[in-house]
A and B are shown apart, each in its own frame.
Chain A
Amino acid sequence: MKFEKFLYSILESRRKKWIVIGLILLALMGSVMMIPTKLVLAKMLPGKSANTFSIYIDTATNASVKETKEVAQCIVHTLEKEQEVTDMEVFLGQGAPLDYAGLVKGSAFKRTQNQAEIVVNLTDKHHRDEPSFKMVHRIRPVIQKACGQIHASTSIRFIEMPSGPPTLATVVVELYSKNNKVLRDMAQRVSAILSHTEGLVDVDVMLDDIYPTYMLSPNKEKIIRSGLSVDQVNKIIYLAFKGMPIAVKNSKDQQDQIPIFLRLQEKFRVISGENMDALKKRLSSLKLMNRKGMMVPLIEILDIHKRDSSPSILRKDLKNMAVITAECDMVSQVYPLLDARDKMLEVLKNYYDVEKIPGITTYMFDLKAKDKLTGAEVLIRWDGEMKVSLDTFRDLGGAFIAALILMFLLMVVYYKSFALSGIVLAGSFLSIIGVIVGHWVTDKISLAFADINFFLTATSLIGFISLMGISARGSLLLIDFSKALMLEGMEKNRAIALSTATRAKPILMTAVAIILGSLLLSTDPIFGGLGIALIFGSIAATVVALFFIPVLMSNTKAMELHREKESECQDEEEIPGRLCVLTDNIKGILFPRKECSDDGNEPLRERDIFTKWRDRIRVFIEKIQKVFKK
């Protein structure tokens, strides 16, 4: 066979063997370098085309439901130009029916006037040319421009169906400090930096705005003199302007009780204008009856003064916190995050002493800032999808290393040789070349045809882990067959070449089966990475198995037969050339046999232990019996 001759010529020449090793190592270096040089981009999970997406509206903290409705209306009108939108549901002052994303984004807790959610349903994704994430990408700037400026400090966020587990936002910056004022300042600075970072959109500071409020402080003297009470004043003001259900009526034909609600008429309730005088005017017409039956105008017993509102305080794990969230616009969150962090280090230098927090943890991007003037400290922590990604990659990496160790141990048990186990491991690890190069190629193809980046994702890593097993199987079969041939008395290199040539067929067949099996997988947005990893990984694994593994096998001494060991199971060697040594190894694991274990020592030892304990127990029982007899 041609392949056999070719391989043999490589194995026989020292120079050619080094060329093969060199080429493979070069490929490994090159492909691994693709990650830091950003030729291959990493992301946890890519976007997925869905039939729906949501829009979250947050107007200023003191905005009325009417203002929020205006923003919602504007968005709905803009979206009505879209052919692919089938229907939109607006939920004012509340969250939409809970979904996967809303669960962690606090959708269920929305109940203030400045919050609204819009659910946008699209036509079926199979009958639509544009994937939902591209559509969002396209209309986001349009809507932000048209509707974001209607009312001050409006935030419009586009929430797509997460393809994996949901997070609060793609990029989440948490600021921790004891001082609320420092937090606010820092939050503004950080959000400014994030909004100017390319690739980040929908930047939102989760802090209440501070707005003017009016405090009515009862004049104690006047209240007592006019025979009223503060409680009475409170109740009446509440009843007049906010209204209250004061009684209920049970109904025969309704499932609910019917409340009787009391409030002032619209024209007496609505305050015309935004200043203190307007409020005064409104209050002046409201009168209270005192104990003597005299009507006292409310304004007479109240002093009005202006005060800033007190914003809500947010805490996480018992520390005061401010949160800034941002979404990524069809790019991986890793690179904008690093950009923003660099910018932060640069900009914040002017006001704070900024230092990085050392150590490799999943919080490794955190910063610590100390105010140059006041000395107040702020911890800047990166959370969100980045943290989840890092955690996942850490865990998967751990899983990968555990898999490597387990496999190595298994191989050592099987071959009783570290060198051979190392070869199998090296072979399975090298499929990473294919995985990375595959992602690079797919990224280029995907950019050329669909203008979508293809990322190295967590699923790619899963693909890589499962590939290890497959390529290990290839190497294993090669080693086993070569050894078998050598047992028959064939010369080492000749045996390796022949076994590689004969095993090439099933190895290729498996590879082809995996590649074709993964073809459909690779078109899926989430598991595409897995598919690509399997396809290109098994190509690489095949090349490695057919060229690199034979070279390594020929280089190692472990392949040479140890005649002494072999003799142990000579009685089994009735059929020459069968995988006697190997068979017995595995059989030793699965069905231990006395004949083949080292002189049958182990069973004996077991019996020893057993008899020893039996004797001890017997002595013990006898002792007890003696005691009882006494």
Chain B
Amino acid sequence: MTKYTTVIGLEVHAELKTKSKAFCTCSAEFTNVPNTHVCPGCLGLPGTLPVLNKQVVEFAIRAGLAVNCEIQKYNKFDRKSYFYPDLCTNYQISQLDKPICLAGHIDINVDGEEKRIGVTRIHMEQDAGKLVHSGATISTSDYSGVDYNRAGVALIEIVSEPDMRSAEEARAYLENLKAILEYTDVCDCKMQEGSLRCDANVSIMPEGATEFGTRIEIKNLNSFRALVRAIDYEVQRQKEVLEDGGRLIQETRTWDDANGVTLSMRNKETAEDYRYFPDADLVPVIIDDAWIERVRAELPELPAQRQARLMEQFGLPKYDASIIVSTKAMAEYFDEAVKTAKDAKGVSNWLLGDVSAYLNNEGISISEFKVSPANLAELVNLTKEGVLSSKLAKKVFTEMLKEDKSPKALVKELGLEQVSDEGAIMQFVEEAIAENPQSVADFKAGKDRAIGFLVGQIMKKSKGKANPGMVQKMLKEKLQ
């Protein structure tokens, strides 16, 4: 069987966090009531003219600089013509040949291997409205209702080079891009709600070939999991078509998450069919060096810089730091917690371990996490100071999940203070020795493992509260 190389490029649409739409003054905020954030402009009524929101350019420059792009001084807008009811104008305002950003890159790390993924371009455009179908799917619906609240909301489209060779690389690229857009505060990046959307261009070619295979575009990828599953499915499907002697056609397919398959949508319209032409209603945008340099100077700390800082400032391992910086909210939580925590690695262990497990389980993000950074820091300190064993710390943590209380107060409330009183521990030690003569004999006969059993008995007697270090030490002394 032929061996194939997978080639992947991603097109990511990010809704910008502007207050108003790109070309009219309607609110860009999300609302559930259809057709309430609309005006003659975004309803495509005759006699209206678009006026560009300056913040759109500002955000696009910021995003472009954050992914190492060259900002283009001369910008113009074009009309992309298509007839579909999601836009009333029958065209989308976009940028064809003069996009605002070119030639950037994002570095990814998959299984310890660094790789640079090219960003071909970023352009500014407007979002379309939403069609609500009367039936379950578009083909079973007799009619649709159109909501134009989203029509005209500002978007940037970030187009990557076809540099990715596996679903995991695509995932890493999208994760890094998402983090960068969050850090720069240009997009709220909620994939489920559609403020960050991803299309994947996937093709395969025989290993060693230089010419790419037929490119298939996959839409409707609204989670990282969907991205990975859809690419894996599509690569397999394409292999099977070719192995059966078939031919692939360039087309757009949609990801059906419930059934785990991609389905053909339509033959891709060629670029000419969109009949792009300059939008003479919008004058050119000239971006001078002063503007670019001002935005550059104002760029916040980006994920890669933050990762380096966490490693240097707190001595975190690279792995820990990379996970913590992967979302802005997690990074901020960490920074807040280490203000009072006496053990940064301890905070990291909680975040990567029990906290992440809890969040995954609940299907929530850290911004919805009830335990405050200060209380998590206190828990870390109680463990560090030996007040709590790690086992009891987990118990306190479970309580904190129910209600965000101070762990110190919870330790008292639950009577969980670690017993470090020599007299009390000695009593447990003596009892355990008296009750388990066989283990004592075993230990004396050189079976070191017997001591583990005795320690277990002592801990049990103390209801887990005895300081384990002291128990070990005192038991050994007593037996010698």
Q: Do the two chains belong together in a single complex?
A: no
